A = this chain, B = another copy of it.
């Protein structure tokens, strides 16, 4: 069997687009079998997501997602700013999106969202010891804050009413590994 890590040899990289958040590049690579392949890659600065727990309730956000053309119910999340540490970003985004400040942030896991073409990594935290401050979303964000108890959230995942991968991962991870802590 051929090895999984073929040490692809970079031939050239062409930047197609540099945007506000993402950059699109075309990487030409030489495979170990000599074949030349072009890989389209979206470069993303990385992100954070939080499962904020207030008693038995998870604080979630509901917003219209243009890319998916629908309203999604998700755990709070946000994109890393240049040089920002994931934990710092998680504290900031939780306050901005939900109005809750986390007394305690516990790293659960990280994950890649779309490894076939995107570099995006998301660092996922459990946020507890919450205290209410004030929500202050950016001017292009319209976000409803929703409290859903864990049992209901699990039913909603089972019925696929929660359709966002990081939210499904984060809530099921909490249930599988941390529930009862």
Q: Interface residues, chain A, CB within 8 Å of chain B?
A: 1-8, 16-17, 19-22, 24, 26-27, 29, 31-33, 35, 37-42, 44, 47, 62-69, 71-72, 74, 77, 79, 109-122, 139-140, 142-145, 154, 157-158, 160, 163-166, 168-169, 172-173, 175-177
Contacts and interface: CB of A to CB of B under 8 A. Distances in A.
Given A4-B143, A165-B122, A68 B35 contact: no
B121 A68 contact: yes
Oligomeric state, in copies: 2
Contacts of A79: 116
Contacts of A140: 31, 35, 37
A69 to B, nearest CB: 8
11 contacts: A2-B142, A3-B142, A4-B143, A16-B16, A17-B24, A20-B38, A22-B117, A111-B168, A112-B163, A168-B172, A169-B172
A90 to B, nearest CB: 16
Contact of A169 (B27, B67, B165): B165
Q: Is the interface of A mostly helix, strand, loop or mixed?
A: mixed
Q: Could you say which of A42, A72, A168 has the most chain B C-beta atoms within 10 Å of its C-beta?
A: A168
Contact of A119 (B26, B41, B67, B163): B67
A32 B140 CA distance: 10
Given A111-B168, A168-B169, 18 more contacts: A5-B71, A8-B66, A16-B16, A16-B17, A17-B24, A20-B38, A22-B24, A22-B117, A29-B66, A35-B139, A37-B140, A39-B67, A47-B116, A65-B116, A109-B168, A111-B163, A111-B164, A172-B176
Contacts of A176: 154, 157-158, 172, 175-176
